[in-house]
Chains A and B, each alone.
Chain A
Amino acid sequence: MFFTLFLKECKELLRSITYYMFIICTVLFYMTQLGSFDPISRPVKEEIKEEPVSKEEQAMKAAISRLMTEFSANNYSTYPFGFIKEVRLSGEEQEQAGQIIEKLTGLSPEEFIRIATDGKTSSDAVQVLRNISYEEFMGEMEKLDSLLGSGSYYEPDSLLGNTDIPDTYEEAEAEYERVLEKDRVTGAYGRIFCDYMGIIMGILPVFLAVTRSVRDKRAKASQVIFAKKASSFTIQASRYAANLAMIFLPLFILSTMLNSQAMYLAGVLSVKGNPFYMYEYLFGWLMPTVMVVLSIGFFVTELTEGPLAILLQGGFWFYTILAAKKLTGYVGTSLVPRFNSVGYYSIYEKMKPALVANRLSYLLISILLFALTVFVYEKKRRGGLFHDRALLSNTKSKHKA
Chain B
Amino acid sequence: MNTEIQLKHVSKSYGKKQALKDVNLTIPRGMFGLLGRNGAGKTTLMKVLATLLKANEGEITICGVPVSQRKKIREMTGYLPQDFSMYGNMSAYEAMDYLGVLSGLGRAERKERIPRLLEQVNLQNNQFTKVKAMSGGMLRRLGIAQAILHEPKVLIVDEPTAGLDPEERVRFRNLLCEIARDRIVILSTHIVGDIEATCEKIAVLDEGSLIYQGTVSELLKKAEGKIYTAEISRVELEELKKNYVVTGMLTSGTKAIVRFIADSKEASLIAGAVLSEPNMEDAYLYLMKQQGGDK
Binding site for B on A (CB under 8 A): 1, 4-5, 8, 12, 15, 215, 219-221, 223-231, 235, 381-384, 387-388, 390-391, 395, 400-401
Contact = CB atoms under 8 A, between A and B. Distances in A.
Contact of B85 (A12, A221, A235): A221
Contacts of A12: 87
Interface of B: 14-17, 37-40, 43, 47, 50-54, 70-71, 74-75, 77, 79-81, 83-89, 97-99, 101-104, 107, 131, 143, 146, 150, 190
Contact of B86 (A4, A224, A387, A391): A224
B54 A384 contact: yes
A109 B138 CA distance: 86
A1 B54 contact: no
Nearest to A216: B87
Given A220-B83, A227-B79, 9 more contacts: A219-B85, A221-B87, A224-B99, A224-B143, A224-B146, A227-B81, A230-B103, A382-B54, A388-B15
CB-based closest 3 A-B pairs: A401-B38, A383-B53, A228-B102
B86 A229 contact: no
Contact of A227 (B16, B51, B131, B190): B51
Nearest to B41: A401
A268 B45 CA distance: 74
Given A8-B101, A219-B85, A227 B52 contact: yes
A388 B89 CA distance: 31
Contact of A224 (B53, B54, B84): B84
A384 B70 CA distance: 14
B102 A5 contact: yes
B190 A401 contact: yes
A223 to B, nearest CB: 4
A150 B191 CA distance: 73
Contacts of B87: 12, 215, 219, 221
A224 B79 contact: yes
Nearest to A9: B98
Given A223-B52, A390-B14, A401-B190, A1 B84 contact: no
Contacts of A229: 71, 74-75, 102-104, 150
A401 B131 CA distance: 24
Nearest to A12: B87
Contacts of A391: 14-17
Contact of B104 (A1, A8, A388): A1
B74 A224 contact: no
A378 to B, nearest CB: 10
Given A235-B102, A387-B53, A401-B38, A223 B15 contact: no
A384 to B, nearest CB: 7
A230 B104 CA distance: 7
5 contacts: A219-B85, A221-B87, A227-B52, A229-B74, A391-B17
Contacts of A382: 51-54, 70
Contacts of B101: 1, 4-5, 8, 230
Contacts of A400: 83
Contacts of A220: 83-85
Contacts of B70: 382
B39 A401 contact: yes
Contacts of B83: 220, 400
Nearest to B71: A229
Contacts of A401: 37-40, 43, 190
A384 B74 CA distance: 17
Contacts of A231: 71
Given A224-B79, A227-B51, A230-B103, A387 B85 contact: no
A108 to B, nearest CB: 73
Contacts of B71: 229, 231
Contacts of A226: 52
A141 to B, nearest CB: 60
A390 B39 CA distance: 13
B86 A221 contact: yes
Contacts of B81: 223-224, 227
A8 B190 CA distance: 38
Contacts of B80: 224
A12 B37 CA distance: 40
A15 B85 contact: no
Nearest to A220: B85
Nearest to B13: A388
Contacts of B99: 224-225, 228
Contacts of B84: 220, 223-224
Given A12-B87, A384-B54, A227 B43 contact: no
Contacts of B75: 229
Given A219-B88, A225-B102, A229-B103, A395 B17 contact: yes
Nearest to B14: A388
Contacts of B43: 401
A383 B54 contact: yes
A208 to B, nearest CB: 16
A5 B98 CA distance: 8
Nearest to A230: B102
Nearest to B158: A223
A229 B143 CA distance: 16
A221 B150 CA distance: 18
Contacts of B74: 227-229
A267 B107 CA distance: 49
A225 B83 CA distance: 13
A227 B50 contact: yes
A268 B258 CA distance: 101
B187 to A, nearest CB: 16
